[in-house]
Structure 1
Amino acid sequence: MIRRLTLTARLTFLYTLVSTLVLLGLGILVVWSTHLHFIDLDRDYLLDKVQLIQKIVDETPEPAELSAKLDESLNSHQGLFISLTRGDDLLFGTGGIAFPTELAARSAPDQPMDWADGERQLRGMSTELLEAQIPSVTTGPGQRLRLTLALDTHHHTHFMQTLRQQLILYVALASLLSGLLGWWAARSGLAPLRAMKERALKVTAHKLDERMPIDAVPVEMAELATSLNTMLERLQQDFAKLMEFSSDIAHELRTPISNLLTQTQVSLSQHRDPETYRDILASNAEEFQRLARMVSDMLFLAKTDHGIQLPNREDVTLEDEVKSLVDFYDAVAEDKELRLQVVGAGSVVGDRLMIRRAISNLLSNALRHAHPDTDIELTIVPELDGINLCVTNTGDTIEAADLPRLFDRFYRVDKARAHPSSDGAGLGLAITKAIMLAHGGSACVTSAAGTTRFCLHFPGPQIPRSLRATSNPPHTIASAA
């Protein structure tokens, strides 16, 4: 049931419960201490009467005078009942009550005993008087007198009952007041949470710049506010990327679809010969292939967002894969008057096809942007924490503001999205980064003074310094105009 209550109600309930328990404990302590105090007072009172009677017995020479003196001395004591006996003979008694037989058998005669006689509440004790000094009183040396006393505790009982009623009333009122104060304190203390709630309600898809107040909240909530602000910052960035991604998809799909639609409409506008139709269909097929590659790349990236498992794990020799790609791109490099160089060697564990695709994306990107009559260098460098594979080309320097976004989907440094030398959709570098993340590695880029370098880091075991200093001779393929 308490789980359904609000946090304010929970704190109020717990605070009231604790306050009530503390007040009840204090009330019980007061009642019990007062009760013990009355017992001590009654015991002292009864012991005082025992001493008084003992003194009267010692000073009275005749038994006839004893009863008169006791009656005279104790007549003014209301609520006091006395019985003085010798054996079975009653020497003096006030009467009116019945003393319990077990009172005389108590092992501690100075400890009062409580009992009820009708409507009366009594507290009494029984003791033997000291040996009488006058034989005429006890009718013989060595005889002892049994004195039994009882005190009516009605006034104590009435006081205790009144005290308990007052304490119960006080505890009830104090608990109610504690509940009200607890509710006020909880509501005031949780005011920052309500402020954070109001801020959170203002966050929408079109307004993600709201942030939680940090300086205006208690220290205990500052960490929560900071975490929420960090979450909102990530959401804002991811939402901006998603909006941009949607815009990029629409832009990339619009061009091939427009081409297909235009060519189809033109071809249907009038009758044409079979050769013309074949050319139009061939052109449409190229656009369909481009769309298919784009959709395939987008599906691959969508899988990586949810975590991708490597299809195959095997030992991959990087220099062999790089040399195979160099041979494949040899004709392209020759057409652009570029020279390809492979330096270094190393092996990693991963999926061969995915690693080859990542390297191919970097190499094709370097071929596209390198200046003619320059070198493109592919270096493999073992390090302590893995292996780095870098592709370096000489071309236009990439602005520092563009470097962090080069691996974003559909991002191009060319804002006009003109790519006359390539039919790519701007997903190659994003796929490369996704492949490296799937292998537990990373991808990075630097560009300065016309030199651009893309590096892939493959994690692996530590490599001894002697092996890191050793590299295979460069494998160079030169393509001249």
Structure 2
Amino acid sequence: MRLNQRASITLRLTVFFASASTVVLLLLGYLIAGAVEQHFVEQDMDVLTGKLDLTRHALLKVRSDQDLISIPQQLDDSLVGRHGLAVVVVAPDGQTMFATSGAEFPQALLERKIQADALHPVVWKTARNTPFRGIATLAETGIKDASPAIVAVATDISHHEHFMNSFRVTLWSFVIVAALLTGFLGWVAVRRGLAPLQAIRQKAEGITAHKLDARLTLDWVPAELADLVDTLNAMLSRLEESFRRLSDFSSDLAHELRTPVSNLLTQTQVTLSRTRTPDEYRDVLVSNVEEFERLSRMIADMLFIAKADEGQIVPSREKMELEQVAADLIDFYRLIADEKGIALSSSGNGQIMGDSLMIRRAISNLLSNAIRHTESGGSVSVAIEPYDASRVSIVVTNSGATIPAIHLPRLFDRFYRADPSRHWEGTHSGLGLAIVKSIVQAHGGEVSVQSAAGNTSFIMVIPRVD
């Protein structure tokens, strides 16, 4: 039976148990019925072969035609008290020498040409619908050069068939009841076995966006479901972390967008509060352009990160000399660094196959971040060196306050800042490090940060891709 694909596990297993038990019971019933039937056949054959041997023995004592006359009486005497037993003896000339009262044998059993296989039992019914099982064979006489006679012996098997019919009814009734009982017990067992799944479902129903910290307990879970519960708990942990980050990101994004929008709105309202000169309007528009540029950069950065998260950023591959890239960026930031009294330097060299614009942007973001968080008199360095046989590391290090270890894993999150009370300065959008992470991952690399003893190092590890 084919079940609907949406059928419950309970129904599926119940049907499976009932079907399997029914098949087993049917096979068992068939074997038992066959064994009982074979027992009756063997029992009948013992009686028939005994009478057949007795008749053959009597025929061997016949020495003349006169002796044949006494054969019927001898056979009648041997069959006294044997109810339901039929015997027939057919002479070589086809005449019936002896036959019990009411004996009805099929003609095929008495044909001389089939006597080679005569001991194979044959079952038939008489004109009165009485079932018989019989055998026949050739029997030699003591008369010299005489053809053998045909001896057939049969027994009434009515009581056997009656017993077998009752036995089959009882047996198949038991099989049906046992199959139904097994199905019911299977249903009970499956319901109890699946109870932990129901408990897991009920527990999961209570987990909402406001209760993502809830976890499934392993105390009452069977060993087979322990891995499932562990997987669900791990999924809940990931969902909780993702939801928290999404919530933080939404809050930070709203906060970051509120500032330039508020500035634009306030400045525009003040400007429109009275008539102003063309120069004053021009100054307001210039200020608005700066805010619009900040919003534009933030939106562009967000789109870049969103595409990177979806795997839509596919960097081009070109040979890059990292030493030259670092030198060019050091020259670009040197004026800013000199104004703050910060020393810039680079060392090492290496080659990779990557997207030149993306790699430059990642190193530029790290340099900009390092200069912004380095006090006057500090230093910022870029070190390029082999990481292993197939990768190159780019390490941007700046001196300054050590970042607490608790903040290090989240520095590459969007809008995350180690000091929540500190707002992003100037035109900085708070997405620089997140963009660095997206670029490095798009190149198949990894990024990390270390901070200790007054030095903070951002490390990009990028495959060479020869």
Please give the TM-score of this superposition, normalised by the length of structure 1: 0.90
What secondary structure is seen at the aligned counterpart in 1 of 2:116?
coil
Amino acid paired to 2:316: N
Instruction: Report deviation, 1:461.
Output: 5.9
129, 132, 140: which one aligns with 1:122: 132
Q: Does 1:100 align with 2:106?
A: yes
Aligned to 1:76: 81
Q: Where do 1:401-440 residues align within 5 Å?
A: 401-420=406-425, 422-440=426-444
Aligned to 1:377: 381
Instruction: Report deviation, 1:271.
Output: 1.6
Q: Distance in 2 between matches of 1:80 and 1:322?
A: 116
Instruction: Report deviation, 1:64.
Output: 4.1
Q: Which runs of 5+ in 1 are unaligned?
A: 133-137, 463-481
Aligned to 2:44: 42
What secondary structure is seen at the aligned counterpart in 1 of 2:117?
coil
248, 272, 289: which one aligns with 1:268: 272
118, 130, 150: which one aligns with 1:109: 118
Q: Which moved more, 1:224-233 or 1:22-31?
A: 224-233
Q: Distance in 2 between matches of 1:145 and 1:301?
A: 108
Aligned to 1:182: 186
Q: Distance in 1 between matches of 2:147 and 2:276?
A: 153
Q: Where do 1:159-308 residues align within 5 Å?
A: 159-308=163-312
Q: State, as a whole percentage, how many aligned pairs show the same letter.
A: 44
Aligned to 2:451: 447
Q: Which moved more, 1:344-353 or 1:108-117?
A: 108-117
Cα separation, partners in 2 of 1:53 and 1:45, compared to 1, 3 Å: same
Instruction: Report deviation, 1:225.
Output: 1.4
Residue deviations 1:440-463 (CA, integer Å, cap 9, x gap): 01111111111111111111269x
Aligned to 2:18: 16
Amino acid paired to 1:398: I
Is the CA contact 1:310–1:350 (under 8 Å) kept in the aligned structure 2? Answer: no
Residue deviations 1:414-471 (CA, integer Å, cap 9, x gap): 2113344x32121000000000000001111111111111111111269xxxxxxxxx
Is the CA contact 1:43–1:111 (under 8 Å) kept in the aligned structure 2? Answer: no
Q: Distance in 1 between matches of 2:103 and 2:292?
A: 118
Is the CA contact 1:196–1:213 (under 8 Å) kept in the aligned structure 2? Answer: no
Q: Which moved more, 1:366-375 or 1:341-350?
A: 366-375
Instruction: Report deviation, 1:83.
Output: 0.9
Q: Which moved more, 1:79-88 or 1:8-17?
A: 79-88
Instruction: Report deviation, 1:367.
Output: 0.6
Instruction: Report deviation, 1:305.
Output: 1.0
Q: Distance in 1 between matches of 2:419 and 2:73?
A: 130
Instruction: Report deviation, 1:58.
Output: 5.6
Is the CA contact 2:315–2:443 (under 8 Å) kept in the aligned structure 1? Answer: no
Is the CA contact 1:215–1:222 (under 8 Å) kept in the aligned structure 2? Answer: no
Q: Does 1:389 align with 2:394?
A: yes
What secondary structure is seen at the aligned counterpart in 1 of 2:181?
helix
Amino acid paired to 1:125: I
| Matched positions, count | 455
Amino acid paired to 1:108: D
Is the CA contact 2:207–2:214 (under 8 Å) kept in the aligned structure 1? Answer: yes
Q: Which runs of 5+ in 2 are unaligned?
A: none
Q: Distance in 2 between matches of 1:310 and 1:91?
A: 108
Q: Distance in 1 between matches of 2:424 and 2:119?
A: 113
Is the CA contact 1:43–1:110 (under 8 Å) kept in the aligned structure 2? Answer: no
What secondary structure is seen at the aligned counterpart in 2 of 1:212?
coil
